[in-house]
Amino acid sequence: MKKRATIKDVAKYAGVSTAAVSYVLNGKEYRVSPDTAEKIREAIRELNYIPDYSARSLVKNASKLIGVIIPQTEDSKQLILENPFYSEMVSNIESRLRESGYHLILSGVDKGESYLDLSVQRNLDGAIIMGIYPEQFYAELKQVEIPIVLIDSYINDPWFSKVGVDDEYGGYLATCHLIERGHRNIALVTGSIRKDGVVEKRFLGYKRALREADIFYNPDHVFEHSVSYAYGYEAGKTIASKHPEITAVFATADMVAFGVIQGIKEAGREVPDDISVIGFDDIFLSRMFVPPLTTVRQDIALKGKRAAELLLEIIESDEPEKIDRKEVTIPLSIVERQTVRPLKPRS
């Protein structure tokens, strides 16, 4: 295995000191005469020199590495990347980060174990965190003092920047959409309602819409378990077979909505003819689903991109501690497709 060239080799080849090489490497060429600079660049090219980030990270205390955390399934430890909502976001985060010369360490976080290890071991320059975790998790993270942006979290701490949507409003919007079309027995199918999580807010919006329309909130109509197709499917079957009064379903994620629809069909009823369904997210599959899903749209790509930018903004400022944390909210809108049917006024 032939050794890779180090900065010393370059220095020797160019007949200068390593410091000079370091200067041109770091764009401090004003400290070096133009022709030495050229000689050095020549040497770099010639020797095929590529600097070692570990060494650099060691002295600069900056790794150009960003941690990205995705929720993982509870049972196995797999990332919930199966939900296109996350993949789409990760993909956008990655491209934005790469553009600025950062690399991304993708990881789940083991229950119990903290993310602390990874972040300090690797000297992460920052982290983007999706999903919601135990409070202690955030506390630890804060101690590391690296810039962090939270996606879809309502953790209230000025240390964290956040990007998300107005989930309460989204839930409200979805439910109103249904109510306006004459539905009054509206089920909510959702992942677990956790404190400071998005579902909690959507749930709140759901209840507000109900209240404003003078509809009695029926706890039996909320089906809460997990954000998965599988659970949606179960809930859909139950609703279609055991709850003839329900005419519409608000699923708090498109993936869940797909399951619900399939479950309803399995039980021999039709969407939207018998039961209407509205989702949340507008992942790209929703457009192609049959029937195309009516849903609350958020710009997922933008969300990822903005999260990356927010983080970079803090990292690249001169005084990261001083930079104001921001909170950006991506707009929401209903996109009407074919899974919601207006109810005929009761005869």
Partner DNA sequence: AATAACATTGACAGCGGTTTCACCAATGGA
Partner DNA sequence: TCCATTGGTGAAACCGCTGTCAATGTTATT
List residues near its own copies by CB under 8 A.
Answer: 1, 4, 50-55, 57-58, 63, 65, 68, 72, 76-82, 84, 86-88, 90-92, 94-95, 98-99, 103-108, 110, 116-118, 120-123, 145, 229, 233, 258-259, 261-262, 265, 284-285, 288-290, 301, 321
Tokens 């320059």 — which residue? 125
DSSP letter for 83, please: S
Q: Extract the tokens encoding 284.
A: 């790209």
CB of 319 to its own copies, least distance (A): 11
Selected from 13, 22, 72, 309, the binder of DNA by CB under 7 A is: 22
Distances (CA, A) of 143 to 52, 105, 146, 308: 28, 20, 8, 21
Q: Does 119 contact DNA by CB under 7 A?
A: no
Selected from 33, 78, 136, 317, the binder of DNA by CB under 7 A is: 33
Q: Which residue's CB is nearer to DNA, number 11 or number 97?
A: 11
Q: Does 316 contact DNA by CB under 7 A?
A: no
Q: Does 7 contact DNA by CB under 7 A?
A: yes
Distances (CA, A) of 140 to 112, 137, 343: 12, 5, 51
Other CB atoms within 10 A of residue 61 CB: 9
Q: Does 216 contact DNA by CB under 7 A?
A: no
Q: Which residue's CB is nearer to its own copies, number 67 or number 171?
A: 67
B/e letters for 243-282, b = 16+ CB within 10 Å, e = fewer, are: beebbbbbbbbbbbbbbbbbbbbebebebbebbbbbbbbb
C-alpha 124/C-alpha 61 separation (Å) is: 9
Tokens 């000297």 — which residue? 123
Selected from 13, 16, 160, 189, the binder of DNA by CB under 7 A is: 16
Q: Does 117 contact DNA by CB under 7 A?
A: no
Selected from 2, 12, 13, 20, the binder of DNA by CB under 7 A is: 20
- Please give the size of the binding site for DNA, defined by CB under 7 A: 32
Query: 330 with 316: CB under 8 angstroms?
Result: no
Q: Does 45 contact DNA by CB under 7 A?
A: no
Determine the Cα angle at 211 with ends 256 and 205, to 5°: 40
Gyration radius (Cα) of the chain, Å: 26
CB of 50 to DNA, least distance (A): 7
Judged by beta carbon distances under 5 to 8 A according to partner kind, the member of its own copies, DNA, none in contact with residue 347 is none
Judged by beta carbon distances under 5 to 8 A according to partner kind, the member of its own copies, DNA, none in contact with residue 222 is none
Judged by beta carbon distances under 5 to 8 A according to partner kind, the member of its own copies, DNA, none in contact with residue 253 is none
C-alpha 128/C-alpha 69 separation (Å) is: 6
Query: 256 with 279: CB under 8 angstroms?
Result: yes
Phi and psi torsions of 81, nearest 5°: -75, -15
Selected from 1, 2, 30, 48, the binder of DNA by CB under 7 A is: 30
CB of 169 to DNA, least distance (A): 46
Q: Does 42 contact DNA by CB under 7 A?
A: no
C-alpha 261/C-alpha 253 separation (Å) is: 12
Binding site for DNA (CB under 7 A): 3-4, 6-8, 15-23, 25-26, 28, 30-33, 36, 49-52, 55-56, 58-61
